[in-house]
Structure 1
């Protein structure tokens, strides 16, 4: 609950133009905007989006290039993919729906049937339950062509490792077949284990170029990221969080992933509005409703005892 009266600051030059307008809203509306997802176009993310664009525009040929977007959990991979997908939205025309970028999730237990069923779900295709594999394959491939797919993004790609022995080889063969048959680039998204899955197959390793999103470290790029975050929250006063000391403190609490960092800063921005502090600083960071990943695990494990 907001406990202070809203002020109407005159100087909002510390904010991005969109955030300046949001800063003029009542506190409750600002809190709603603060809690919403936000895109921060830091250089590595923009490079990834650009690389996806290059693949998207690649001329169709027998052996298409693929990309493997790899990074720790909660380090911005899904946000990058969603940003790219929104720049290539689905369009409904007189000839039906066109879905240039299809995003799906790798089944937790990879099998060919579950994979094709996941594709059908991703494009919103109706299908009867208990499809057999040949039917599911024909339907998925024909519908992918019908919607004009130009790129298939497979999230949770590391789930390939859940398969064992011959099952895993069959599934990796399926991925090779899919790229060859549709002549579209495939984009795998996952953790380090996704790269291990690709490395287990020489032909796939040659086709999937890894793009790494490492944990964040203190430096100029991190300070620039923090400055962008500070300018995006509609707070009435400047948040001086782009210093080396603050970067070290924030990365220690968030454990180096951009998802956790965003969660921490969002909680601090909420505390800044509710307390009337109107800036992110050590006081509002201490007030923030946030517990880091390791501490969350400890609390959970303690509750299980």
Structure 2
């Protein structure tokens, strides 16, 4: 089992079928260049000195192409902690909030207050909520505000969109923090709709995967973590091309395919992923899912 990491090899030898399947389904972080580049940029912003015009980032990518996994990974590396001393101060360098379904300041503020375990007072107006949030951010020494699903802003009228984007600009200016917006390709249009915000955000893109050396390295790294006794040779040209085609170049889909294929390989006793295994997993590609939805008028 030289194809496995030493830790995975030991796990395979000492685990049951059920344990292997559970291990397969456990979320994994596979390093790859573009994600590491973005992670490094986020870390750089975390250490950025306070200036009047703080730098911000817009992370753009197709649905299910690793955006949320990336920011969760970054948040996990920068969890809140207690600074020991006279008062044992709690410091939360990063917070991650999901944009509301449509651009509404009160809903956005409520989400932040809930994240910070602060009371949400229904009768409180938006200005009062904002003042409390600013005080909490300063107390917790928050440096980065990450807003996921920022493309939700497009669900509102142009007026509501402008108001919401002005809230982000005001928070950044008032708190001297960097804001990270994360979303689908439509998110670019959200930020560009505000000229004052457009030149404040650096856009970083998580592209779909292509059949190149970086993709093959991803498959090799992934295979080393799969609890399969036999090598699958995922980097072999016909196998890698098949996985890329099935997944449409989306890392979330690649993950789903390999989990399903790994489960079938274990349960069938084949203990490796080959063409036959890939042909027999219960999987529908993103494009085929869209066709089904259109056919059923959903």
**Same fold by TM-score, threshold 0.5 exceeded?**
yes
Give yes or no for the alignment of 1:19 onto 2:8.
yes
User: Separation in 1 of the partners of 2:260 and 2:130?
Assistant: 45
**Of 163, 170, 177, which residue of structure 2 is paired with 1:184?**
177
**Of 261, 265, 282, which residue of structure 1 is paired with 2:258?**
265
**Of 82, 92, 114, which residue of structure 2 is paired with 1:99?**
92
User: Separation in 2 of the partners of 1:194 and 1:136?
Assistant: 26
Alignment of 1:148-227 (within 5 A): 148-227=141-220
Give yes or no for the alignment of 1:76 onto 2:77.
no
Q: Give the aligned partner of residue 88 of structure 1.
A: 78
Count of aligned residue pairs for this structure pair? 294
Alignment of 1:138-153 (within 5 A): 138-153=131-146
Offset of 1:236 from its aligned partner?
0.4
Alignment of 1:30-49 (within 5 A): 30-49=20-39
SS of residue matched to 1:241: coil
User: Separation in 1 of the partners of 2:123 and 2:272?
Assistant: 55
User: Separation in 1 of the partners of 2:119 and 2:259?
Assistant: 39
Q: Give the aligned partner of residue 122 of structure 1.
A: 115
User: Separation in 2 of the partners of 1:124 and 1:20?
Assistant: 42
User: Separation in 2 of the partners of 1:74 and 1:238?
Assistant: 27
User: Separation in 1 of the partners of 2:289 and 2:193?
Assistant: 34
Q: Give the aligned partner of residue 53 of structure 1.
A: 43
SS of residue matched to 2:2: coil
| 8 A contact 1:223–1:244 mirrored in 2 | no
SS of residue matched to 1:232: coil
Q: Give the aligned partner of residue 110 of structure 1.
A: 103
Which structure 1 residue ranges, 5 or more long, are not aligned? 1-11
Q: Give the aligned partner of residue 249 of structure 2.
A: 256
SS of residue matched to 1:209: strand
| 8 A contact 1:270–1:288 mirrored in 2 | no
Q: Deviations over 1:195-215 (max 9, x none)?
A: 111111222111100000011
SS of residue matched to 1:40: coil
Give yes or no for the alignment of 1:63 onto 2:56.
no
Distance 1:172 1:303, change over 3 A: closer
Offset of 1:155 from its aligned partner?
0.2
User: Separation in 1 of the partners of 2:46 and 2:158?
Assistant: 33
